[in-house]
Structure formats: C-alpha cells, structure tokens
Amino acid sequence: MKILYGVVGEGMGHAMRSRVVLDHLFAEGHEVVIMASSRAVEYLERFFDEVHRIHGLHIIYEENRVRMDRTIFSNALAGNEALPDQIGAYFDLVNEFDPEVVVSDFESWTYLFGQLHGLPILSIDNMQIINRCSHEPAIVGDEEASFAVTRAFIKGKLPFCEHYFITTFFYPQVRRERTSLHPPILRREILDARSERGDHLLVYQTAEGHDALVHALEAAGMPCRVYGLRRHITEDQVQGDLVFRPFSESVFIDDLRTARAVIAGGGFTLMGECVYLKKPMLCVPVGGQFEQVLNARYLEHLGFGKMAREVDADEVKGFVKLIGPCERALSAYAQDGNADLFRALDEELDRIVAGL
C-alpha cells in the first residue's frame, strides 16, 4: 500500500516508536512517505532515506514546568513563518504520491490531508488513552480540570480515525469503538538489552534549569548517572556521586539496563522501557502536562514505581526503600516484543485493502 506517515516532533518518544513501526511497514513491502516536524526529522533521517519536514508545535520548559506564555508566543511566530511551506508540501503530496492510507502519530497535517481526500486514517500513539478510555477518580485525583482540558484537546486532535491503536503498560476500560490497547512499542536496542541490577540510579531530565533535582541527588548519597541537564557537554563531568553524561544512545541504554532504578519525567517512552526492563522508576511529571501525571499515577498504582511532584533527598531515599517491592511487582510483567501491535496493524491494513 501507499502510506502517508506523520510524526509529531514534540517529544522524541513519538519519533522513536515511529521508527519501529516504519521499519515494520517497509519490511512488509509498503511504500511510505514520512512527514515529521522539529527534532523528529533529524532522528528519523538517521534511519530512512527521505523525511519531509513540516511545521509542528514545540513546548518551552523552565524548572520542570511548561511555560505556556512563552510557548504560545514562540509557536505563533514559527507558525506564521512555516505556513507557505506547509501549503507547498501539501500540494507536492497530492501530485506526486497519491497515498491510499494515512498513519498519524499525533501529527495533524497528514491527518488533515487524509480527511480532505477521504482516506482511511490510523492513529498510533499513547495520548488517545486519555480520551478513549475511562479512568477511575482515584487516578484523576485532584487534576479534574487538567484532565478535562487535556481530554478535550486530544478529542479534537485526530477525530474520526478508522482505528486508534493505543500503546500502554496499563489497561483501563476502553469506552469508545474502533480502539485497541497494545503494549509499548520498543526499539530493537531495548528488546536486545539484557537487564541487570546495578547500584546506580539513572537520571534523565530534559527540562534545562532543573537545579532542585541536582541538589536532591547530591544530598541523597547514591551514585547517579545523569542525562539531559547539561546538554552541551561533550564528555563526562564528575561532581561527587553524580556523573553528568552527554547523550549517547548506546551508553544510555547500557546505563538503563544496568541501573538499580530510574528517576525521570513522566514521558511514556522511557517509562515503557523501564517497565519492560523491570526497572523501578521515580517519576517526576512535568508541571502542566496531565498526560505525564496520568502515566505516573498508573505506574504507582501498579506498584512499578513512585510519583513525586518535586524531588528532594528524602524523596529519593524513600524511593530507594521501595525498589524491592517495585521489583517484585514488575516481575509479573510480560510482553512479546512488538508482536501484538504489528499483528493488529497488519490486520487493519488488510481490511482497508479489502474495502471492509
């Protein structure tokens, strides 16, 4: 089939899992055109010959919180500059590729192309779980307003798709038709990694300026391998028990598979990898992002880790005491790679080809 595949660029998790799905689609013999925005373009270009750049939203963080005013202003400027290119890319696709189906990982331009041309659209992401599943009051907790706003946004993002494939390690009740839940999409590097129980904490924080976390780790007195807080370094920097590392995918995965536990935000991709590798996680959701809060609360509810609004030395020490119970809870988790999602996706594409 001719497939138009769109990848949103905010958060590298979308690009990382899309790479896995794209590998599968190409291996199955499909012809695919890839559209992506922001950092997803550079990432996907490492694996595929051609990736078309389109404009996408980006988020500005300070001190582990979304700065909504700066985010809106920056996106407005970038959107005005990008609009002519969007129109050009749109007509190029119409004239040259003529796709038969659209697959979107939370990406709007390819979705709009599919809607305007009456094409079947398949959604593959984790975000739709907020809108298309029911969540207990204990999980939503004191975030009712954020939940309502986020659900309304997601509901309007990609409505009326042919099917919604939702990746997840937790399984609330599905409340809408044409929806199915599947285990997290895992990179081959994660599937090949052999989990070992080391003595260090892996710390991953992408929001620059999160100084409070550094002070907490220093006071905790445990070896930590820290990624993301010093983005511009080119070699390891040692500060007491903390080793700040430049990002290297292979080194990061090795540190992950040998970690005693993980401290990170509430992004779904790393969380899913921790669950698969059976690594307890102290999750610190980014302020202003309900999706991360939801992920963290389900993680804690299942006994796989702990959620914290802020991190201090006592919080880290308390989490370390929970590592054993978390490991026992994680020992029951099982996942057959990406087989479940790929089987369901192939069946849906077959139905589309058959005109069902």
Please tell me whether residue 335 adopts helix, strand or coil conformation.
Answer: coil
Per the model's pLDDT, the better-predicted residue between 200 and 81 turns out to be: 200
Per-residue pLDDT, 90: 55
Give the tens place of pLDDT for each residue, 287-318. Answer: 778 999 999 999 999 999 999 988 888 899 89
User: Please, which pLDDT band fits residue 66 given cuts at 50, 70 and 90?
Assistant: very low
User: In a 10 Å sphere around its CB, with 0-12 CB exposed, 13-18 middle and 19+ buried, how is residue 253 labelled?
Assistant: middle
Instruction: Decide if pLDDT at 123 tops 90.
Output: yes
Give the separation between CA 322 and CA 310, rounded to whole angstroms: 17
DSSP 247: -
- The bridge status of strand 242-245 relative to strand 237-239 is antiparallel
Token pair of 226, please?
């820290």
Instruction: Find, among 240, 349, 263, the residue nearest to 310 by Cα.
Output: 263
DSSP 240: T
Instruction: Find, among 201, 212, 207, 208, the residue nearest to 312 by Cα.
Output: 212
pLDDT mean over 187-201:
96
Mean pLDDT across the chain: 88
Give the tens place of pLDDT for each residue, 207-245. Answer: 555 677 888 888 878 899 999 888 889 999 999 999 999
pTM of the model: 0.88
C-beta neighbour count of 344 within 10 angstroms: 15
Give the tens place of pLDDT for each residue, 272-283. Answer: 999 999 999 999
Please tell me whether residue 233 adopts helix, strand or coil conformation.
Answer: coil
User: In a 10 Å sphere around its CB, with 0-12 CB exposed, 13-18 middle and 19+ buried, how is residue 232 labelled?
Assistant: exposed
User: Please, which pLDDT band fits residue 70 given cuts at 50, 70 and 90?
Assistant: very low
Q: Report the run of H or E that residue 226 belongs to, with start and end.
A: strand 224-227
